[in-house]
Structure 1
């Protein structure tokens, strides 16, 4: 009993240290995007909690938008990946691992090569990249998904992920799966269907 109690402070210190690493990775993401020339907030000068229009200059510029569910699903996926690869390590270390992947994607997504790829092969013709605020909140959304997956039953996490994918496909004709397909292997039929919105 005493040995277990003695280990708790060490486990807490370790968890706090890994949470600190995750926050440091988020800070590196934010600073990297700043040095890449990304705007801190929407060029409109406003900060909205939610941007409802996908085909507007405000998309990917505010705190959340219709792509936020995709980032929550990232958290589900990264939790599962961390569980498979790093099961013996603390959850906080796995969160740092997930944050590293998400931050890496956010930096890549806002690079000129990926912005141009979105413009050329998807219906996001006017895509300018994310604001720093939106990109940072995408990483926060991933962390929310990660923590949800860490606490919820697997079946519930899967049902919610499927629900998010179906809902966003219906509402905006896009979702995580379609986004990946169109970025990696564009299909004209999908682009035409998405353009009809």
Structure 2
């Protein structure tokens, strides 16, 4: 599924790596032109949270399924999201409705890293007790909220119900 997602993203015309020619491990800026182009950035935490959420939701709706099947469903959903997130329609939505004003989509390497981040979250959720999973998700949501004024919760909120007041707060 990961290779399929990479092939689809390349066929869609996504850049394999940053057009700057570099491959960095971490990009610290929310609005950097390298955000969503490198291996990891503040939004990588959102994909780890995806893994925790997919684990929880699939455990609730399909408790009889083996964990391997739930993992494959989570992997499919994340790969599908990475493809969908990089369509012109969603990229434009991010630019108009969220704090990601200059967003141009992800590089393929960033999308693949995001899928791996979801896998990390899913596997962690499988091993951690419930209280620790909740603590990790809260941490992964609160730290980016405090540092860059954005996180998965705000991203979803702004994509679905844009708020001028929230956008102004995020702009600082």
> TM-score, normalized by length of structure 2?
0.97
Q: Which residue of 2 aligns with 1:141?
A: 117
Q: Which residue of 1 aligns with 2:90?
A: 114
2:13 counterpart of 1:37: yes
* Deviation (angstroms), 1:26: 1.3
Q: Which residue of 2 aligns with 1:166?
A: 142
SS at match of 2:41: coil
SS at match of 1:148: helix
2:41 counterpart of 1:80: no
Q: Distance in 2 between matches of 1:170 and 1:80?
A: 25
Please, which of 71, 75, 88 is the counterpart of residue 99 of structure 1?
A: 75
2:130 counterpart of 1:154: yes
**Of the two, which has the highest radius of gyration?**
1
Q: Distance in 2 between matches of 1:152 and 1:183?
A: 30
* Deviation (angstroms), 1:164: 1.2
* Deviation (angstroms), 1:149: 0.3
SS at match of 2:26: coil
Gaps of 5+ in 1: 1-24
* Deviation (angstroms), 1:83: 1.0
* Deviation (angstroms), 1:129: 0.2
* Deviation (angstroms), 1:85: 2.4
Q: Distance in 2 between matches of 1:167 and 1:38?
A: 29
Q: Which residue of 1 aligns with 2:161?
A: 185
Q: Distance in 2 between matches of 1:71 and 1:124?
A: 16
Gaps of 5+ in 2: none
* Higher relative contact order (CA closer than 8 Å, sequence separation 6+): 2
* Deviation (angstroms), 1:54: 1.3
Q: Distance in 2 between matches of 1:92 and 1:140?
A: 16
